Amino acid sequence: MISIEEALHTIQDQEFTSAPITSTVSDSLGSYLAQEIYAPFDIPSFDNSAMDGYAVCGVGKSYTVIGEIAAGDTGMHQLKPGEAMRIFTGGRTPINCTAVVMQEKTKVNGQVLELEEEITEGKNIRRKGEELAKGQLVFEKGHAISPGTIGLLNSIGRVNVDVFEKPTVRIIATGDELVKPGSELKEGQIYASNGETISGALKSYGFACKEHIQIQDDYPSILQGIKNCLDSSDVLLLSGGISVGEYDFVKKALEENGVEEVFYKVFQKPGKPLFFGRKENKCVFGLPGNPASSLTCFYVYVLPLLQKMAGGHGTGLRRVFIPLQHSFEMKSDRPSFLKAHLSGKEVSILDGQGSSMIHSMANGNALVYLKRPASLEKGDLVECLLF
């Protein structure tokens, strides 16, 4: 059995050859850039107005309004001292524009403009290149594409961008007791939830589940199911059957399929019977069947690995230190990820920490990571992984 830190380092040490592909900018959300991006021109590319108001020439109190400039007007207008033009946000400022005066600070009577404030030279003019200069490095290779990134790529006119290909992920849920929601449930059976939970988690971090299948606890079926999925996946996630019970066939079936164990069992709660293995460039996780364990292991171990495979740094969930809302007795000798809810500036550890209990995961938005037994007081800082 290895420690959480050893397991995380092992994940970080995995090396992959991610292939760059060309993606449209609109499909690139959640991918990592496989190229550096430089500004192809100054941004903004022309001086323009930051306000709806009046572009004025010279410093004074009264001007003659000679025309109007709307956003998108491509003409180049010119002012002489004492002249002004009505201008709208984003409109190109005219030659000899001293400043733009916001309309709320003006009075207009016919063509006569009176100002209610002093002119400050350059005020309300967004200067060419003030955001980014032509040739400036905008994004490094490996940058994670966010909605803001897409916005900037659009504003420099990009249609396509080189990104690293995201891994193809398949999920196999194992268990004789599992019934798909929508079917009749007999006494002794449960509705399967892990497959769709993990699919949802994949989606929420910009990945996708290519296929999700369910297999009975039957060795030949599991053996064949793993073979079929492994051939066409970069990452295979299995749920259940990885513990030490009579019907836990996953580990043996993985070995039989040529998957080499990298680690098995982590000294943690929940999620002790976690398996991680590799077959060449492919990665396999045997996630524990208990729903909270399975999702916790996804957040802590699978997510950083996927991010690395996709060309990112594999930082996983954001970690922050937050004060506890209440005192808490941490009794387990195993380092624990506790389902918690962060609200405002404090975090509270939720009831229902059992590894089979998913309601606290559903109501929570963080895992509190406690490394050792301790009597914690309200206000003590605890490490939180935010999801």
Biggest CA pair distance of the chain: 92
β-strand 346-349 against 336-343: which pairing, if any? antiparallel
Residue 101 or 236: which CB sits closer to Mg ion?
236
Specify the DSSP element, H or E, that contains 310.
Answer: none
β-strand 112-115 against 125-126: which pairing, if any? unpaired
Residue 175 or 225: which CB sits closer to ligand AMP?
175
Residues 342-361 touching ligand AMP, rule: CB under 6 A, are 356
**What CA–CA distance (Å, rounded) separates 306 from 299?**
11
Per-residue mark of binding to ligand AMP, 224-243 (x: CB under 6 A): ---------------xxxxx
Residue 88 or 267: which CB sits closer to ligand AMP?
267
Of 65, 205, 59, 39, give the one whose Cα is nearest residue 130: 39
In the bound complex, what is the minimum distance in angstroms from residue 228's beta carbon to ligand AMP? 19
Per CB under 6 A, 177 contacts ligand AMP:
yes
By CB under 6 A, name the one of 190, 362, 374, 381 that touches ligand AMP.
190
Residue 91 or 240: which CB sits closer to Mg ion?
240
In the bound complex, what is the minimum distance in angstroms from residue 243's beta carbon to Mg ion? 8
Per CB under 6 A, 37 contacts ligand AMP:
no
Stretch that binds ligand AMP, among 72-80, 132-140, 193-201, 327-335 (CB under 6 A): 193-201
Contacted by 93, from ligand AMP, Mg ion, none: CB < 5 to 8 Å by type: none
Residues that bind Mg ion (CB under 5 A): 175, 240-241, 289
**What CA–CA distance (Å, rounded) separates 73 from 1?**
68
Enter the tokens of residue 363.
């109501």
Residues 246-305 touching ligand AMP, rule: CB under 6 A, are 288-291
Contacted by 286, from ligand AMP, Mg ion, none: CB < 5 to 8 Å by type: none
Which residue's Cβ lies closest to ligand AMP? 289
C-alpha neighbours within 13 Å on the C-beta side of residue 162 = 11
In the bound complex, what is the minimum distance in angstroms from residue 199's beta carbon to Mg ion? 19
Residue 31 or 293: which CB sits closer to ligand AMP?
293
Q: Could you give the residue ranges of the DSSP H alpha helices within 247-331?
A: 250-256, 291-297, 303-309
Q: In what order do the strands lie in the sheet with 282-287?
A: 209-215, 169-174, 235-239, 282-287, 275-279, 260-264
In the bound complex, what is the minimum distance in angstroms from residue 265's beta carbon to Mg ion? 16
Residue whose entry in the numeric block shows the structure tokens 């002012």: 79
**What CA–CA distance (Å, rounded) separates 143 from 155?**
17
Q: Do the Cβ atoms of 349 and 360 come closer than 8 Å?
A: no
Task: Count other C-beta atoms under 10 Å from residue 110's C-beta.
Answer: 7
Per-residue mark of binding to ligand AMP, 305-344 (x: CB under 6 A): ----------------------------------------
For ligand AMP, the binding residues (CB under 6 A) are 173, 175, 177-178, 190, 192-195, 239-243, 245, 288-291, 356
